[in-house]
C-alpha cells in the first residue's frame, strides 16, 4: 500500500503552484495520505494570507483523488482536519473498490503545464466549453464564468497588466519578481522555487533586456521613458490573443474557498490538457487586490492601489461576477508547445 501511495504522490506533485513553489510535504498512514503546507515558500506579497498556496493545494489534492482511481481506490477527503493546525491541509483516505474505473484525466496530470505563448485565434469547441461549465457547476460556494467576446477579452487583458506596471514601478515587488526568475536549469534544480526564464516565453531581445532591468535602479530610470507602460502593453496584447478567458469566483475568501477553487481549476486544466487546449493562469492582480481590500499595508503607492481596484472591478464587470472573490483567472486557447517546462521536485514524505 505504501508503495502505491508513494507512486500516487510522485505524479500528484506535478500540480501547478505560484512561482512553482510546490509548497507541500506529506505523511503516509496505513490507508491515508496527509497533506501539509510549507507556509513561507510562495511569494510573500502575491500569496496573500497563503491563499495562492491553498489554491495550489486544491490542485494537488484533486490530482491525488484522480490518480487513486488508476489503482481502483475510492477516496474520501477531509479538508483542514485539525482546527488547531491550518498547515494540515487535508487527510485523504483510500478504500479499495472494484467498481472504480480509471479516470481518463489521469494521463493529463504529468502532461499539464502553463503555456504563456500567444494563442491562435481559432475558436474553442462548444463541447469543451460545456464540459468545463459542468465542472464549474459542481464548485461548492463558487462558480466558473467564461467570456469569449473579443472586446471583453481585450478589456480584461488591459486590466490584468496593471499587475505588471505595479511590479515594475514598485521596488519591493520588482525585487520579488526578479528574485523569482531562475536563469539556468541548474539554478532551478538548486533553488526551492522559481520561474525558469524560458517558461516566460519572452521574445529574445526582451530576455536580454530582463537581465538588465532586474536591477531596480535601471528599471526605475527606464520607467521614466515608458518601460513599465510598454511592458504592460506588450503583455496585454499577448493575453488578448486568447479566444477564451475564465474566472473562478467564490462567495467567500476563506482558506477552504481557495482549496475548493484550486480543486475545480485543476479539473478544468486537466480537461483542457486532454483536449489539446493550452491554458495560462493570470492571477497576480487578483491577489494584489485581496491585500488592498483587507486593508493590509501595501508596498506600492496609493495611486497604484486605485488602479488595481479599478482593474479588478472592470474584470468583475466583464465576467458579470457580482461582488465575489476572484480566486483565479485564466486564458485558454490553441498554442504551440511551450519552449520549456517548469522543473518538479520529488515529493517530500516524512
Ligand atoms: C495560485 C496560482 C497562481 C498563479 N499565477 C500565475 C500568474 O499570475 N501568471 C503566470 O504566468 N502563472 C501563474 N501561475 C502558474 C505557475 O507559475 C505555474 O503553475 C508554475 O510555475 C509551475 O509550472 P507548471 O504549471 O507548468 O507546472 C499560477 C499558479 C497558481 C497555482
CATH number reported for the structural domain that contains residue 196 in this entry? 3.40.109.10
pLDDT at residue 185 in the model:
85
| Percent above pLDDT 70 for the chain | 100
Residue 313 lies in a domain: yes
Residue 346 lies in a domain: no
Q: How far apart are CA 269 and CA 332, in angstroms?
A: 9
ipTM confidence? 0.99
Residue 81 lies in a domain: yes
Distance 281 CA to ligand 1 centre (A): 6
Statement: residue 335 has pLDDT above 90: yes
Q: Which of 6-15, 37-46, 152-161 has the lowest average pLDDT?
A: 37-46
- Considering the domain architecture, whether residues 9 and 50 belong to the same structural domain is answered as yes
C-alpha cell at 20: 512553482
Residue 138 lies in a domain: yes
Smallest CA separation from ligand 1 atom 4, residue: 18
Q: Which of 56-65, 74-83, 149-158, 173-182 has the lowest average pLDDT?
A: 173-182
23 CB within 6 A, ligand 1: no
Distance 229 CA to ligand 1 centre (A): 23
C-alpha cell at 294: 483587507
- Considering the domain architecture, whether residues 86 and 159 belong to the same structural domain is answered as no
* pLDDT category of residue 329 using cuts at 50, 70 and 90: very high
161 CB within 6 A, ligand 1: no
The residue segments making up the domain with residue 78 are 2-108
Strand partners, 269: none
Residue 347 lies in a domain: no
52 CB within 6 A, ligand 1: yes
- Considering the domain architecture, whether residues 41 and 187 belong to the same structural domain is answered as no
pLDDT at residue 190 in the model:
87
**Number of structural domains the chain divides into:** 2
- Considering the domain architecture, whether residues 87 and 186 belong to the same structural domain is answered as no
- Considering the domain architecture, whether residues 149 and 273 belong to the same structural domain is answered as yes
Q: How far apart are CA 33 and CA 6, in angstroms?
A: 9
Q: How far apart are CA 185 and CA 341, in angstroms?
A: 10
Atom of ligand 1 nearest to the CA of 53: 1
Residue 231 lies in a domain: yes
pLDDT at residue 197 in the model:
93
**pLDDT per position as a tens digit, 32-81:** 999 999 998 877 788 889 999 999 999 999 999 999 999 999 999 999 99
Residue 120 lies in a domain: no
Distance 115 CA to ligand 1 centre (A): 10
> Which of 108, 138, 166 is a domain's end point?
108
Write down the number of H helices and E strands in the chain: 13, 10
Per DSSP, which regions of the chain are E strands?
24-28, 32-37, 73-79, 88-96, 142-147, 181-182, 195-196, 244-250, 278-281, 325-333
- Considering the domain architecture, whether residues 104 and 253 belong to the same structural domain is answered as no
- Considering the domain architecture, whether residues 43 and 80 belong to the same structural domain is answered as yes
pLDDT at residue 199 in the model:
96
pLDDT at residue 118 in the model:
95
| Percent above pLDDT 90 for the chain | 91
C-alpha cell at 125: 469547441
Smallest CA separation from ligand 1 atom 13, residue: 281
> Which of 108, 141, 172 is a domain's end point?
108
177 CB within 6 A, ligand 1: no
Smallest CA separation from ligand 1 atom 23, residue: 342
- Considering the domain architecture, whether residues 190 and 218 belong to the same structural domain is answered as yes
On the 0-12 / 13-18 / 19+ scale of CB atoms within 10 A, 279 is: buried
- Considering the domain architecture, whether residues 220 and 134 belong to the same structural domain is answered as yes
Residue 325 lies in a domain: yes
Q: How far apart are CA 220 and CA 213, in angstroms?
A: 8
Distance 1 CA to ligand 1 centre (A): 32
Amino acid at each position: 500500500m505504501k508503495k502505491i501511495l508513494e507512486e500516487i504522490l510522485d505524479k500528484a506533485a506535478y500540480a501547478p503552484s505560484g512561482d512553482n513553489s510546490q509548497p507541500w510535504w506529506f505523511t503516509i498512514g496505513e490507508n491515508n495520505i496527509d497533506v501539509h503546507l510549507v507556509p513561507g515558500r510562495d511569494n510573500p506579497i502575491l500569496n496573500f494570507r497563503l491563499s495562492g498556496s491553498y489554491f495550489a493545494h486544491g490542485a494537488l489534492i484533486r490530482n491525488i483523488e484522480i490518480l487513486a482511481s488508476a489503482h481502483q481506490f475510492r477516496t474520501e477527503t477531509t479538508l483542514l482536519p485539525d482546527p488547531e493546525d491550518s498547515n494540515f491541509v487535508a487527510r485523504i483516505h483510500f478504500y479499495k473498490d472494484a467498481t472504480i474505473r480509471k479516470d481518463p484525466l489521469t494521463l493529463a496530470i504529468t502532461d499539464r503545464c502553463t503555456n504563456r505563448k500567444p494563442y491562435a485565434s481559432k475558436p474553442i469547441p462548444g463541447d469543451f466549453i460545456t464540459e468545463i461549465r459542468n465542472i464549474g457547476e459542481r464548485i461548492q460556494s463558487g462558480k466558473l464564468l467564461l467570456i469569449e467576446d473579443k472586446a471583453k477579452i481585450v478589456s480584461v487583458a488591459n486590466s490584468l497588466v496593471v499587475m505588471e506596471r505595479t511590479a515594475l514601478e514598485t521596488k519591493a515587488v520588482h525585487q520579488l519578481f526578479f528574485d523569482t526568475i531562475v536563469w539556468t536549469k541548474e539554478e532551478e534544480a538548486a533553488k526551492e522555487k522559481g520561474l525558469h526564464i524560458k517558461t516566460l516565453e519572452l521574445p529574445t531581445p526582451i530576455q536580454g533586456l530582463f537581465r538588465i532591468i532586474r536591477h531596480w535602479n535601471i528599471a526605475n530610470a527606464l520607467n521614466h521613458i515608458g518601460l513599465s507602460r510598454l511592458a504592460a502593453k506588450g503583455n496585454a496584447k499577448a493575453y488578448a490573443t486568447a479566444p477564451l478567458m475564465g474566472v473562478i469566483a467564490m462567495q467567500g475568501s476563506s482558506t477552504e474557498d481557495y482549496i475548493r477553487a484550486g480543486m475545480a481549476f485543476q479539473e478544468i486544466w486537466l480537461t483542457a490538457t486532454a483536449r489539446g487546449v493550452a491554458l495560462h493562469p493570470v492571477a497576480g492582480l487578483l491577489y494584489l487586490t485581496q491585500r488592498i481590500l483587507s486593508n493590509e499595508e501595501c508596498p506600492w503607492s496609493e495611486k497604484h492601489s486605485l488602479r488595481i481596484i479599478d482593474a479588478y472591478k472592470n474584470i468583475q464587470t466583464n465576467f458579470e461576477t457580482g461582488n465575489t472573490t476572484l480566486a483565479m483567472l485564466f486564458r485558454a486557447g490553441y498554442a504551440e508547445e511551450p519552449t520549456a517546462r517548469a522543473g518538479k521536485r520529488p515529493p517530500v514524505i516524512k
